[in-house]
Structure 1
Amino acid sequence: MKKPVKRALIIHSLCAVGKASLTNILPVLSILGVEGCPIPSTILSSHTGGFKEIEKVETGSFIEKSINSIEHNDINMDLALIGYLGDIKNLEFIKNYIRKNFEKEKIVLDPILGDNNKLYKGFSEEHVKNMRDLIKGCFLITPNLTEALYLTGRDVSLAENMNDDLIRDICIDLRELGAKNIIITSVTTKKDKVGVCIFEEGKLYTVYSDKVEKSYPGTGDIFTAIVSGEVLKGKNIYESVKIAMDFLYETIKYSSSFNYDTKEGVLLEDNLYKLIEKR
C-alpha cells in the first residue's frame, strides 16, 4: 500500500541558527501535510547574513550517495525541492537527476545565485552557466529578480526600471531554457509594494503585497516551501503564491513588532498554525 501522504525530497543547506533553508522548509511542509526528506548540501553553524565566525562543512558526495540509496530502496518522491547545492560539482549530478526524474515527479528549483543586483560571495559566472543547465525539465523555478536577470544574460541594472513587458520577456527566455512554470520574486514595479510575477501555462500574473519595513533572511525558503506544498495538494501556482504571500506578510509583520535582531529570522513557530487555517 502506498503511503497516504505526499513525500518531498529537499536538497538544501542546513543552518543551526538563523531560521533559513531546511530549518524553515521542514516545519512548513509538515504543517501542510507533506513529508519532507532532507539531504543537506552544506552544514553551517548559522546562515551567512550577519553572524560571525561561522563554521561550515561541505557534505561532498553525500547528495549523490543519498539519492542513490533512496533509489536503491525504491523510495518514490512526489516532488523534489532543490535549493543551495554547495560544491559546484554537485550541479552536474543534480542536472542528471532532473533529466531522469522530471517526468515522474515535480521538480522545483530555487536557483540560488544572488540578490540585490549582485551574485552572492563565492558565486561566479560559472555557477550561472551551470544553473542555466539545471532549469531544463523543471516543473517550477523560483528565482528572485536578480537571479532571473543573471540567468537570462541581462544587465542587473534593469532591475531599477522593471515593467510588465520586460518581465514577460524574461519569463519567455526562462521558458526557452526549459522551465515549465516560473515565479520571479522581489519584483518592485509599484511603490511601497513587493511583487511576485507568475508565468503559468503561458500566462503572466503579478501578485502584490504591502512592504514591511524590516527584512528577514529565510523568507524565500518559507515562500518556496509553501508553494511546493500547496501545489502537491492540488492547487495551481497562482493560488499557492497567494497563500504564501499572505502568510509571509502576516508573519513578517508579527515578527517586526518585537525588538530583536532581524538576522535571527522570522518568528515562524508562533505563526505556523495559520497555515492550518488556510488548508
Structure 2
Amino acid sequence: MTKKIAVINDLSGFGRCSLTAAISVISVMGVQPCPLPTAILSGQTGYPHYYFDSYTDKMPLIRSEWEKMGVRFDGICTGFLADERQVKQIQMFLDSFLNEDTFLLVDPVLGGDGKPHGLFTEGLLKKMQELCKRADIITPNLTELCLLTGADYEELGSIKNISLLMEVISELARSLLHERLREVLVTGIRYTDGDGVPMMGNLTVTAGGHTLLPFPLIGGSYSGTGDLFAACIAAGMARGDSVEDTVRLAGKFISLAMADSIKEQVPRNDGVNYEKYLSMLAPSGTLYNGSDTHRSPASSP
C-alpha cells in the first residue's frame, strides 16, 4: 500500500516552494502527499508584493473531514505557518493523527540568511518551539536554529575553525532534543574547507553525536530549496531510507537544480529549476518513458 504523508504548508503560485515543491518531490519518490494548505499566496513572501489569504479558519474544517474518513498517515510534515494561531490548529491535527506509527517532521520556517521572514513574531517563535518538541525530526537552517535557541547568528559566522563551528552548531541543536524529538538536521551551513573550497554542509545531530554531509557550494540563495530538502527527507523516511542516505540524495538533487538555475540566470525569488531532475529521486526500478539521464538510486553515496 502506498505510504501517505500529510503536508501542512502554504500554496504559492510563484516561487517554486512550499506545497508546489513538496507535492512533486514526495510524489516522484513513490509516496502520496496529502496537502493541507496553511495559506494561499500569489507568490512567496520574498517578492516585493504578493496576495496573501490565510487558511487558519479552514484548516479545522479539512481536519474534521479527514477524521470522518478515518484516514491515517505514515508521516506528517509541516512548513510555512502564517501566524501563531496556525500552530494551535496543527497541534489539534496532531492530536487526531499523530501516533507511534506516524513520524512528524517539522521544518521551522522562520527566516534565512541571518534574518527572520516578514511574518515573523515572537509569539510565532514560541509556538514553533512548542511544535518542535512534538516532532521526530526538525530541519532548521542556521538562521532558524539560532532563532529557536537564542544564539547569535553573527557570532557563529565569525568562527573560522570548521571543527569548532560544527561542535558549536551541534551543541545548539542538541539543546533542542526533547523526548520524541531525537534528531535535528541543520541545513545550508556555508563554510570553507581546509583546501579553501566553499562548501554547503548539512549536519545531522542526535544525542549520540553529529555527522556533517557536505557538498560544494554552487553559489546563490534561492526560494524553496529548504522545502525541496524537507520534502526529500520526509518521503525518504516514509519509504524506509536512512536519513543520511536521503540527505546525500537531496544534496545532489538540489545542487544540480541550483547549478542549472545559476547558468540560466534565474531570479532568486523564482526558485530553482528542479523539475528536470525529479526522476533521480524515484525509487529504484521505477519505469519512465524517455530519458532518465539523471536517475540515481536512493542510496547513492
TM-score with structure 1 setting the length = 0.92
Aligned residue identity for 2:139: T
Matches of 2:89 and 2:55 in 1, distance apart? 14
SS in 1 for 2:167: helix
- Residue of structure 2 in register with 1:92 after alignment: 88
Tell me which residue corresponds to 2:135.
138
Measured after TM superposition, the shift of residue 165 of structure 1 is 1.9
1:69 aligned partner:
65
Task: Spell out structure 1 runs of 4+ moving beyond 3 A.
Answer: 96-100
Change (3 A) 1:169 1:201: closer
> 2:54 pairs with 54, 58, 61, which one?
58
**What residue in structure 2 maps to residue 258 of structure 1?**
264
**Which amino acid counterpart does residue 244 of structure 1 have in structure 2?**
A
The structural deviation recorded for 1:32 is 0.4
C-alpha offsets along residues 155-175 of structure 1, whole Å, 9 cap, x if unaligned? 232331351221221122010
Partner of residue 196 from structure 1, selected from 193, 199, 202: 202
Q: 1:10 aligns with which of 7, 19, 23?
A: 7
Contact 1:217-1:263 within 8 A present in 2 as well: yes
The normalised TM-score by structure 2 is 0.86
Q: How far apart are residue 67 of structure 1 and its match?
A: 1.6
Q: Which moved more, 1:226-235 or 1:258-267?
A: 258-267
Structure 2: runs of 5+ lacking an equivalent = 160-164, 283-294
Q: CA deviation at 1:60?
A: 2.4
Structure 1 unaligned runs (5+)?
Answer: none
Structure 2 match to 1:231: 237
Residue 137 of structure 1 contacts residue 180 of structure 1 at CA under 8 Å; is this kept in 2? Answer: no
C-alpha distance in structure 2 between counterparts of 1:133 and 1:98, whole Å: 13
Q: Deviations over 1:186-208 (max 9, x none)?
A: 22343510111101463300111
Aligned to 2:167: 165
Q: How far apart are the structure 2 equivalents of 1:213 and 1:117?
A: 17
CA pair 30-49 structure 1, distance change in 2 beyond 3 A: same
Which residue number corresponds to residue 78 of structure 1?
74
Does the CA contact (< 8 Å) of 1:181 and 1:199 recur in 2?
yes
Aligned counterparts of 1:99 and 1:136: Cα–Cα separation in 2 = 14
AA in 2 matched with 1:127: L
Alpha-carbon distance in structure 2 between the residues aligned to 1:57 and 1:20: 16
Q: Distance in 2 between matches of 1:119 and 1:102?
A: 32
SS at match of 1:46: coil
CA distance in 1, matches of 2:147, 2:250: 25
Question: Amino acid of the residue matched to residue 62 of structure 1?
Answer: K
Structure 2 CA distance for aligned equivalents of residues 226 and 247 of structure 1? 9
- Encode CA deviations 1:2-55: one digit per residue, 9 max, x unaligned: xx10001001010111211111110111100010010110101111223x4411
Verify: 1:116 aligned to 2:113, yes or no: yes
Q: Share of identical aligned residues, percent?
A: 26
Distance 1:173 1:47 in 2: 31
Q: Which residue of 1 aligns with 2:290?
A: none
Counterparts of 2:145 and 2:90 in 1: how far apart (Å)? 20
Q: Contact 1:135 / 1:178 at 8 angstroms: preserved in 2?
A: no
2:19 equivalent in structure 1: 22
Structure 2 partner of 1:181: 183
CA distance, structure 1, for counterparts of residue 265 and residue 109 of structure 2: 29
* Amino acid across the alignment from 1:78: D
**Could you say what secondary structure the match of 2:40 adopts?**
strand
